[in-house]
A and B are shown apart, each in its own frame.
Chain A
Amino acid sequence: MQAATARSGQTQSGLDRLLAELHALGGRDLAVAQQADRAAELWRQPPRIQVTGRAHTGRTTVLRALALMSAVETAPIDEPGVPDPELDADVVVYVLAGAPQPADRRVLAALPPQHTVVVLNKADAIGSSWADAVAAAEQYGRELRRPTLPVVASLAARTRAGAVTEEELTLLRALAAEADPTLTLSPELFVGDPAGPRARERETLLRRWDLHGIACALTALRHDPGLSGPALLQVMHAASGIDALHRLLHRRYEQAAALRGGDLLDRLSRLAARSVPEAGGRARDLIEDYLAGDEAVWLGLCAGLAHPSVAHLAAGYPAVHPADADDALSRAARWRAVVASDLPPTARRAALRVHNGYIRLWGRMSSAGL
């Protein structure tokens, strides 16, 4: 996505130029300039993220594990006597802790799927192994028709900062040598009576790494007793499942940002259509010049690819930017076919934007336009 960020930098400057020029026109076009300002302002606001879920599902822990600056935690869903919080962010992270309850289904059904990420938190509590948790997450994802990811946020929040010390490693090796199957069944058993005099150390270990982390570390150590502290930390971090969530969230965030670019183009087009060029007003010309420019076409391409009705068609692309001119042309031809198909109008409009974008890229890459 470096190309995208580089281009968005250019776009910003192009947009700035447009705004400055509109303001310079003055007179009757001042109203148009103000509306364009408003559209640009809406576009520049960063996408918002909300983390929500029922009470005690671990919203705060998920937020801490994700370490996102822009995310906000909402009030709990399905609280007796309290109305559900308003979920209007660009990306909503919905936290489940176990099977979805009727209230979860109700709230999720009202959320747009492309803006929602469902997190099955406390996944270590489901079934007897991680496979059960993955199967459950897949099943819930099918039922809710939204991607659902199993995560142990409490462990991820711990592996985010911290290192396995030498003492902990020694204790873990000693525990791995014991073959008691009920050892990591429950936190209470882990520090309970049979732990004997070492209960305090185990308690510290449990507080530091969570039972799921300890169980994973023990399994890893049984396979390879020579593992080092950092390697163990890596194992535990991978076992928390937070990375997959990060990736999905990142993709959703980018989509939300791209869709905002599409909104900006829509607003500017409407503005251009409304500002009738009478008595020498040049606002319309300026806006249309901008809309026909490379920056706006690139924004349109990104927005079209991110549009939920056609996003699945772009799934095979390794990057938004085509590899070379031939690639751009073949992509454009494919999207041309989508435009001509009998998809709903919004999808066709998105496909048209993608098509135009690739044609422009092809032109630039092959110098055919010159």
Chain B
Amino acid sequence: MPDSDTDDPSDRAAERDATAAQAGAAGAGDPDARGRDPAVGIAELEPLVARWNPQGTALLRALRTPGAAADEVALVAPAGVGTTLLRTELARLSPRVALTDALTDATAVETTLGSSATPPAAALVLLDAGSVIGADAIGLIGRLRAAGTTVVLAIDNIHAHADWREVRERDRAVLAANGYPEADILPVSARLAAAARTGDSALLDRSGLTALHAALVTATAGGAADDGQARAAVLTRVVTETRDRVAEQMAALRGDTEIARWRAERAALLAARDGGRAAAMSTLRGRLHLARVDLMTETGAQVRALHATARAEIDRAPRAELPDYPLRLQQAVTDLTAVVDRALDHRIGEIGRRVDTAVPPAATGDVRAPGESPVVPRAGVHGESGPRPTEVLGQGTEVLDARSTPARGRGREPAPRVGPDPEPRPTGVEDHLMVALGASAGAGLGRLLVSPLSLVPALEVASVPVTLALGGLVAWWVVRARRQVADRAHLRQWVAEALVTVKAQLEQRVATALVETETALTEQVMRTCAQRVVDNDRRVAELEARIRRAAAERPGQLAACERDIALLEQYLANRGR
């Protein structure tokens, strides 16, 4: 198994940064290393190459390993487009590693092993990153090992599977459980290597192809180790590659792209120094004002509508129902309160959502430049961890969300009372007047009616009681009619007064709720923004430190890179001679 110093391709970019830093530090301590020895030997170049190009070092080490003659590597892999691509990419690297045709399964391997007297010195078993190693492959590895073959394990297609590390760990665990605890699995991606043909060495490192190549060369014990010329060619190639890498790093250092990016980020963060508080507060205030105006208007309209309905009902109601009317009015007021509450909840929920959009809750803790829209979907506010189930109300299609349900005790507050029942109407002078008027009118009417009776002498006796009776009847009727009209007018008056009180109470209810909302939301905005300001400041400080450090270290790093390039070029020139 090859040495696993190039374990994880994605760590290499970081490694290279560290390499540049080291180079700077080393260069500072050793100012004129190059002047002393014009004929640079490979031994001196070794640490340099190891720093910049670990795969190259692995290859050089492999070349030095003494071993058997070059041999074909048995390739155990499923036949497919991926395998073909990997062969192509491996063939581009020198020294060339000869691969057999892909052996797809155990029987093919058996045939190959059985046909030749000597089993292949090495075998490359290609696993797929899409699935975990199975019992068949384990058995196959066991047979190959038993035949004395060095087995190099690799998982292909790491570019396409985001979870290839997990798969690799599981593969390793399975291998360890089946008696191969030391087995290492090289991650490789032929597609990334193909994409790196443009000369992107970071991408090439990420693809893991060079590491696999070095491992194969080690496994075949030297490849063309006996051939001095071939070895020299490889050496030259490794040194050239290393020089290219150093040059790339220098270009990156000179190009300042990194620092420019940091600066841009810092500027964006500084522009949003208050964490978006001003914007959120103005949004909040504007929305609250709008809500107050709207809700007041709406409440007024509702109360007026109720008043009109009440008057119509009083006019139409039979006399017997009038005493119960205050109860019915109370019922109507309670219903109206529910409607107002619902509208209020709806508005408050809407305001909460708006504020959330303006200032996403601090829970995510991320820092964004202004003008960028938040991507994180809105999480619950007021400490809830997720969206609560919403509730659809019967009337209309308003949907209440979590924040608008009465968490502030508004729902427990009773609906406004219409006040005490109307006092009994005081009997005034009009009532007495009505009695007198009714009586006199009745008497007059009676007399008119009985006047024919006086023609008959026998009936004249009856005329007086009839007149009196008719007079009494009419008086009673007039008084009753008058009382009804007066009662209704009294009730109407009472309703008007009661509804004025109710309206005032409802408006107070709306105002209180809005003030409570304002307090709660302001607090939330403040908390969120404070958190963001702290995060912003921390990030800005970090960026500034990074920019300063980069600016301070860059000359040293550049000098070190130049020195390394000079060394490498000197070596190349010596070899060229």
A residues at B contact (CB < 8 Å): 53-57, 76-81, 97-103, 105, 121-122, 124-128, 132, 135-136, 165-168, 170-171, 181-182, 185-189, 192-193, 196-197, 200-201, 204-206, 211
Contacts and interface: CB of A to CB of B under 8 A. Distances in A.
B191 interface: yes
Contacts of A128: 191
Interface stretch (B128-136, B213-221, B284-292, B480-488): B128-136
A77 B131 CA distance: 11
Nearest to A202: B375
A186 B134 contact: no
A76 to B, nearest CB: 8
Given A57-B131, A101-B78, A187 B162 contact: yes
Contacts of B159: 185-186, 188-189
B105 A102 contact: yes
B541 interface: no
Contacts of B130: 56-57, 97-98, 121-122, 125
B369 A197 contact: yes
Nearest to A84: B135
Interface string B336-347: 000000000000
B102 to A, nearest CB: 10
Contacts of B192: 185-186
A168 B136 contact: no
Contact of A56 (B80, B82, B160, B167): B167
Contacts of A168: 375
Contacts of B373: 166-167, 170
A196 B136 CA distance: 44
A55 B106 contact: no
Nearest to B377: A165
B366 interface: yes
B53 to A, nearest CB: 20
B195 A78 contact: no
Given A54-B134, A81-B177, A81-B178, 4 more contacts: A57-B131, A80-B134, A98-B130, A124-B160
Nearest to B161: A125
Contacts of B128: 97-99
A168 B373 CA distance: 10
Interface string B225-268: 00000000000000000000000000000000000010011001
A170 B374 CA distance: 11
Contacts of B372: 201
B78 A98 contact: yes
B135 A78 contact: yes
6 contacts: A98-B82, A122-B161, A125-B129, A125-B160, A182-B195, A197-B261
A101 B137 contact: yes
Interface in B179-237: 189, 191-192, 195, 200, 203, 206
B82 A188 contact: no
B221 to A, nearest CB: 30
Q: How would you classify the secondary structure of chain B's contact residues: helix, strand, loop or mixed?
A: loop
A211 to B, nearest CB: 7
B81 interface: yes
A142 to B, nearest CB: 13
Given A128-B191, A200-B366, A78 B134 contact: yes
A101 B10 CA distance: 29
Contacts of B264: 197
A42 B188 CA distance: 52
Contacts of B206: 188-189
A81 B135 contact: yes
A28 to B, nearest CB: 56
A132 B81 contact: yes
Nearest to B159: A186
Given A101-B137, A103-B136, A186-B189, A55 B376 contact: no
B157 interface: yes
A266 B195 CA distance: 61
Contacts of A100: 78
B379 to A, nearest CB: 13
Interface in B364-394: 366, 369, 372-377
Contacts of A122: 130, 160-161
B170 interface: yes
B82 A182 contact: no
A102 B366 CA distance: 48
A55 B177 contact: no
Contacts of A57: 130-131
Given A97-B128, A204-B375, A103 B135 contact: yes
Contacts, number: 128
Contacts of A166: 373
B542 to A, nearest CB: 13
Given A101-B134, A167-B375, A80 B81 contact: no
A205 B158 CA distance: 20
Nearest to B189: A186
A102 B261 CA distance: 51
Contacts of A103: 134-136
Contacts of A201: 372, 375
Contacts of B157: 98, 125
Contact of A80 (B167, B178, B189, B374): B178
Contact of A102 (B13, B136, B189, B265): B136
A181 B132 contact: no
Nearest to B163: A56
Contact of B79 (A99, A125, A171): A99
B130 to A, nearest CB: 3
Contacts of B134: 54-55, 77-80, 101, 103
Contact of B131 (A55, A136, A170): A55
Contacts of B13: 193
A113 B104 CA distance: 23
A197 B78 CA distance: 40
A102 B106 contact: yes
A185 B135 contact: no
Q: Which of B106, B130, B174, B178 has the most A CB atoms < 10 Å from its CB? A: B130
B86 interface: no
A165 B376 CA distance: 11
A30 to B, nearest CB: 52
Contacts of A188: 10, 159, 162, 206
B138 interface: yes
A54 B131 contact: yes
A-B CB proximity, top 9 nearest: A99-B78, A125-B160, A78-B134, A97-B130, A186-B159, A55-B132, A187-B162, A102-B105, A80-B135
A185 B192 CA distance: 8
Interface in B73-90: 78-82
B84 to A, nearest CB: 10
Interface string B102-136: 00111000000000000000000000111110111
B330 to A, nearest CB: 47
Nearest to A100: B78
Contacts of B104: 99, 102
Q: Which of A78, A181, A193 has the most B CB atoms < 10 Å from its CB? A: A78
A100 to B, nearest CB: 7
A196 B261 contact: yes
A54 B160 CA distance: 18
B180 to A, nearest CB: 11
A189 B196 CA distance: 13
A187 B105 CA distance: 31
A107 B264 CA distance: 58
B374 A167 contact: yes
Contacts of B174: 80
B444 to A, nearest CB: 86
A278 B157 CA distance: 73
Contacts of A211: 162
A194 to B, nearest CB: 10
A128 B206 CA distance: 18
B145 to A, nearest CB: 15
Contacts of A181: 195
B366 A126 contact: no
